[in-house]
Structures are given as structure tokens and as C-alpha cells.
Structure 1
Amino acid sequence: MEIIKVQQKRKSTKLRTIFLGYLAIFCIGTIALALFLVLIFYVLMSNGALLPANYAEKQVLEAKTILEAGKPLQPDFKQTLYNYALFTSDGSLMEGDLTEKQAKAAWNLTQHSDTTYQFPYNYVRVPHHNKITVMRYSIAAQFEPPILRQYMPNAELSFFAVFCITFLVGVALLASSFGRKLGRKMSGLQQAAQQIQAQDLDFSIKLSGVTEIDQLLHSMDRMKETLKASLQKQWDLEKSRREQISALAHDVKTPLTIVRGNVDLLSETEQSEEQKEYTAYIAESTRQMDQYIKTLIEITKAETAVNLQAETIDTEYYLTKVKDQVLALTAAKKISVVFDVYNLPDTLYADPVLLERAIMNVTSNAVDQASEHSEIRLIVETVKHSIRFTVIDEGPGFSSEALKQAAEQFYMGDSSRRLNGHYGMGLYITKSIVNLHGGTLHIANSTQTGGGQVSIEIPISRIST
């Protein structure tokens, strides 16, 4: 763990410190934004580009003085910050820049008072020469350019909107930055968890520089080392157990062969009926023991990791060998075999020994389930970028339970299968071989025969890694 020792010299930072740093940036940025907008506000006001809140009220007072002096009102609509409507004494609209609806509302509001307010406007009523002028204005800072007043009639609200938008953008950017930084800091933790989950324990913990995360990483490192030691011990024990079982099984075969040979010789001698019966018992028991030992050796092979020795195979030549094996296997029960081949590739990338073993396991199961003089169909075809070997029999088919568990280790379904030398290893071994090739094993019942239908599907070419 030399990498850890080097990294431990780096000064780590607490997560609280990182969070407070981002919070400080957020607060300083918010205050700076507010001060900047206030500064812009006063600069614009000092240059006359922004008119003060009482500017419209001053214009209304000047207009009121003009009207009370008996002079006509001649507003410059580009510079005037108020709107007006001129009425007759009975309330008929004569002129103005208020709409008819707005003018009627202004007239009704000023019937009982010469000045009134209804959000967001102030109203002033000025009688003169049997006419009445009602002016409407708002107490708010406004931009001096008419185009800006048209789209942003309230400068203060406009500045507030800019502040809110900038504030939200800043919050989003800071949150995103904090999330990315925290994600980078936790990447080592995530990587360590994934490698431990995959039981890949030959790696070094990379510290993040954050105290809390590094504490977790140190704990995971200790857990990794403990788990590695425990798994290594378990793997060594399993390996030793498999080697001992395999060695014992092979050792037992020698005296068993001697017993079987002597039984065969004994059966050729003159014996009484009782002696023949006992000799037959010994021969049958010897056969069963031989089958048990073969099964035990098969189990130890299945539990041992198999290395895939894949190579480029001539497909037609390889299938010829497989057909010969299948015909030899089915001959004993006088089962006919139908071979269907469709659109085969010229070559196939696979382990020829393991693939043949998988195909023969499936075929052997089909033969065991099929009755004498029945038919087994072997279909070989190309499916997209894979080659599929399908074996269909005319037996009773798989039960609903077997369809789910047939490929599990030691699953036999019917207990009577043990009497036939089955120990639930055939499809389990087949599935392991198919997985090594990066393929899939499909178990189903044929819709045509009602019997079992097992398909082995593996990629035609080498899988890129």
C-alpha cells in the first residue's frame, strides 16, 4: 500500500470546510451582485439615463399648474411619463392617450376626490373651463429612453428581475460545481466498491483529499485486505479439497478396475446359480461405483475454472465430427436423428473440445428422455451474428419448475434420474461452457413435438474486449 502512504502525507480537507467555502463564495457573490446592480442604478440615474421615482409626479404638478392657468396642455409623449384623458363636464371623453376603458376607469376613480391611488397608479383630477383633465402616473423610477420605458416601464422591478435571474443562475452554477467536485472526490470510493463487489481485490486505494471520504476509503481498504485474506484462504481450501477429491477418485478407479476385471473372469467360470447371482450383484455394484466415480470427477472438473482455448474452426468439418458423435450416442436406443443445417458460416471461433462437450451434454439429456425408436432433431443455423445449435426430442419435455432450474447445479427434477446416473450436472456444465463463449443457453419445450428443446447460441467471431 505504498500509494496510500504517499497520499497520506497530503493535508486532507473536511467536507464541512469545502461546503463552507462554496457557501462563502455564494454569499460574497450575492452581495457583490446586489452592490453592482445598485451601483449601476445610481450611475444611470446620475447620467440621466434613469429618471427618479418622483419625476412623473413633478411633470403632473407642472401640467396641473398649466391647466389651472387656463393654458392648453401640450404633452410631449416621448418625454412625458404620465397619461391623461380630457373629459367634458358630464364625463364624455374628448381626447387623450388613455384608451376608452382606461379613461372610464380614471373618471370613476376621481369622482369623489381630486387625487386617488389604485395599484399601481396615482390619479389627479384637474377641472378647467368646463372641462376636466385626469392624469395617471406611477411612482417608480423609469428609463429615460422611450424604447426602454416601453418594454421595462418599472426600472426598479427590471433591476430586481435581473438580480433574481442572475441569482438563480449563480445558484445553479455553484450547485453544479459542488456536485462535480464531490463526484470527483467520491469516484475513488465508487471504484473501490465496484472492484470489491467484483472480487477484484488487487488494487490500491486512491485517497480523495476529503477527510470524511478518506476515512471511508481507509475502512474499505482494511475491509478489502481482510476479505482478500479470507477469500484467498477459502480459495486455497476449495482448491485443496477439489484436488484431494479428484486424486481420491482417480486412486479408487485402480482397485475398482481390478475388481471389475476379476468379476469378469469369475463370471466366465463354472458357477452355481447362487454364485452367478452373487457375481451379477458384484458386477452391477462395480458398474454403479464406476459411474459414481465418473460423476465425482465430472463435478470436480465443473467446479474448477476452465480456460477457454478458442480457435478458428472449419464449421463443416467440425459439424461432421459432431454428427458422428451424436449418431454413436443415439444408436443404443435405436433413435433416429434428423440434421437440419441452414446458412452456416465458413468458420467459427470457439473452443472445439468444450463446445462439443456442451452439445453432447444436451444430446445425452435428450437421448435419456426420448423413448426407443423415437426421433431427435439437431438444428444448426446462423442467427444474426451468432450460431445456434438446437436439440429437440420427443420425450415428456420439461416441467414448469425444470424450465427455471434445469441449468442449476445438482438439479435433477425427478429423483428417479439418479438411478440412471444423473446428478444434475449436464446442463449446468453446458451453461458454464456457453457463458465462457459469451453466448446464451435457452431451455424450452418444443411446440411441435412437446418434448424438450435446448438451444446453444454463441457468437460466430471473436468477441472484442
Structure 2
Amino acid sequence: MSIRLKFLLSYAAMLVIPMLLLVATALLLTVVYHGDVQSLKSTYESKFEGMEESDTRNLIKHTFLQNPDLLTDNGFLKNFSADMLQKNTTIYIRSGNTVLYASDDLLKKPDFIDELPAFTEAGEEYEPYRTKYNNDWYKVAQFDLLTADGKPVSLFLLTKLDPLVHFVRTFFPILFLSALVVLLLTHVLLTSYMSRSIIRPLLELRRATKLVADGNLNFRVNINSKDELGQLGIAFEKMRSRLQDSIQLQQQYEDNRKELITNISHDLKTPITAIKGYVDGILEGVANSPEKNEKYMRTIAAKAGEMDRLIDELFLYSKLDMQKHPFSFETVPIFPFLADWAEELEIELEKKGVQLQIEMDSREEAWVSVDRDSFKRVLGNIIQNSLKYMDKPEKKITVNTRLEAGRFILAIGDNGPGISPESAPFIFDRFYRAEQSRNTNTGGSGLGLAIAKQIIAGHGGEIYAESEEGAGTTVYIVLSIEKGAPEHGANDTDC
């Protein structure tokens, strides 16, 4: 049985069962207080009209029929009229055109009593009828009798009806059926609304779970209600979104892994091919002199060293990518640290004929939390990448620093060939080389800047590049400045 059908049946039971219990209770009370169910009709009439017709018939039967003289006994008729007035009923007795007795109220309504039916047959009693006089409704009961001397007499009991009671009395079946119809319609509409407000979100969740089971996550759960089902829909949508992101990330990792394997295979194949070629040359006797043999051996050693560096960089990148590389952070005065590094760098660059230009804004003291060895590796990778692509006769590298809004910014630039603006955001991707740099002369693993990016990310910093084709490239490193100097003081500047 579906949930929808269960809701419909439960709501129907909530309507039908109380109604049945109400009817059963009413019947039971009728039996207890009135003796049988048949008296329900008389009880209903008595409640709305003030006098039971059976009591009226018994009164006429045991008084006027057995004692016809009472029809002309004014004293008895006055007492009888007084009793009837307590039940909102007046008496009118007529013999032909002669009025034998009339309640005081009726004497004021000659038009009303003139319209009363004529005598028909002695001993007859007629079904009471209702008539309207002015704006009032009356119930008229007629009894045709004979006096002691045999004269025909018509006795009328006129009961004034309350307008509301008369309306309810007249239209009670219609009102009851209308109330029942309204109740049923209201119940059906509310049931339909409530079931839809519950069933629709459940159907939407069922559709969503089926799509997830089929492996389709490219959809949205559309549940806009604010109740528990709406909260469930929001939670399901978050779960779907996170699952989709996780799968996409996993797919990206898989694509990156395949790309990495492809690039590693390509980069390892080049030195291995060279080593095999030189080994074959030695084995085949091509290196037939000590000088040539030494040259071959040195080339093999260089290629083996190149492979060793590539493998080391792959291991390092892998650890950084999986966030398993341990950093040993310490707060250092960044300007003395860079000054020592620049002094060592200047000596190396002079050997290669490269000019080093340094501009450091060291008017203020700045402390930065870094891993010394890892940060030096970042600086070295940037310098090596700049040297690898320099094509100008006068080679130059610039190092600039500045402090800005609680951040330390280091800029390392060169006057190399530069790269296109479209390629600048991708130079920190592993194995990425701009198109104009794809040649066999540059060498390198293609992981230097990718490793630099991972290390700076591990430091909570930012690294990016700006370049202009033909003018050179500048790499920016942004790190947060630590507030206050460390307790060990500013003398710890050993790099």
C-alpha cells in the first residue's frame, strides 16, 4: 500500500469514524432517555415546536370527546387557554359562523381566523399545517367535534412558531446535507493538499535517488517547502552536490594521474634513450679512444644525474600534492634572510654572466613564518626557470620587495622572452611549458614552478606571474607578516 493511499484512508477514517460514533451516541442517548428510537421524531418536534402532537390528541380525546359540554364551558376553556399559552399556543372554537371561544390574541386577527378551514366531519383530526400571517408563522391543528346537543364544532390550536426554529425545522435536511457536503469537500481538499505537500517532496526525493543510483548527478533537487521534508531535500541536495564535486575531483585526479604518467614516461625516456645510445656506442667500440670513451661516460653520468633529479622532484611533488611533506616553520626576519640569499645568488649569477638587481624596502622590520629550506627551494626554482629561457645578450634578474597591508610581497623578474597573457596562469601547472619554449634545448623536469606553488600554498601564501611577450616575466610571492617579533630576538639571521 502506497503512502498516498495510507494518508487518504487515514484522513477518511478521521472523518467517518467520528460521524459514526456521533450517530451511535445520539441513538444510545435517545434509547436511554426516551425508551425507544421511535420517540426520536416526537422529541425532535417537541424541541422545535414546544408541544407534542400525541399529547394534543390525548388531550382532545380524554376531554372534549368524552365531555362535549366542555366545548361551551367558558371557565374550563379559559383555564385550558391559559395552559396552552404557556406552550405558545392559542385556542379558537367555532360552530358554523359563531365563535364559541377565542383567545384574546386571536380577536385582534379577524382576517387570520376567517381563513381557517370549515367543519368537515365529526370526530376527524387533520394533519397540522403551517400558515403565515403578516410576518409570523403558525402551526394550525384542527379537530372537528360535536357538542352535547349535536352541533358541529371546529377546535383550532394555533401555535406561533419562532422564525429561526421554523427555518431550521423546514430546511434542516437541506442544512444537514449541505453541512455534510461542505465537511466532505473541505476534508477532501485539505487531505489532497496535505498529501500533495508530503507526497510531492517524497516523489522528488525518489526521483533523485533513482538518478543517483543510475550514476547521474547532473540535476537539482527541487523542494521548496520549509518543513522537515524541505530540510531533508536541502540535505539531499548538499549531499548530491558534494558527491558530484567529489566524483569530479576524483576524475580530475585520475586525469592528472594519467597525464603525470604520460609526462613522466616522456621525460624519463629522453635520458634513458641517450644513456642506451652511449652505452651501445661503448659496447660496439664506437668510443675507440680514451678521450671519446671519457666523453661518453661523462654524458651517461650527466643523463643519470638528470634522471635522479627528475625522480627526486617527482617524489617531492607527490608528497606536496598529498600534503604529506613536513614543513619546519620558524619566524624569521625576512629582509636579512633575503639579503644573505641574494649575496649567494649574486656569486652564482656572475659566473653565468647574469646581472642581479636588488631593491628591498627594509625600512621597516618584517617577520615571516617560513620553512627555510623549502622557501629557498622556491626561490631557486624560480631563478632556474628564468635562466633556462633567457635569450637576451644582456641577461638580467631583478628582485624587489614591498610591504602592503600586513603582507610581504616578493617580486622576481627577468628580461627573457616572456609568455602570452593566456599562458601566464598555467605556468605553475606541472609539466607545463609555453608553446615557444617547447624545445630540446631548455631541458628541465617541468615541475619546478609546480613545486614552488605547492610549497607557497603550504605556507599559506600566494604565487602568481605577470608577463609580457618579448619583455620578460615577473613572479610574485605573497606571504602574511607575523605580528610582533619572536621571543628569541632578531639576531637569528643565519640562513
Provide the TM-score with structure 2 as the length reference.
Answer: 0.43
Provide the TM-score with structure 1 as the length reference.
Answer: 0.46
Tell which has more relative contact order, 1 or 2 (C-alpha 8 A, sep 6+).
Answer: 1
The structure with more radius of gyration: 2
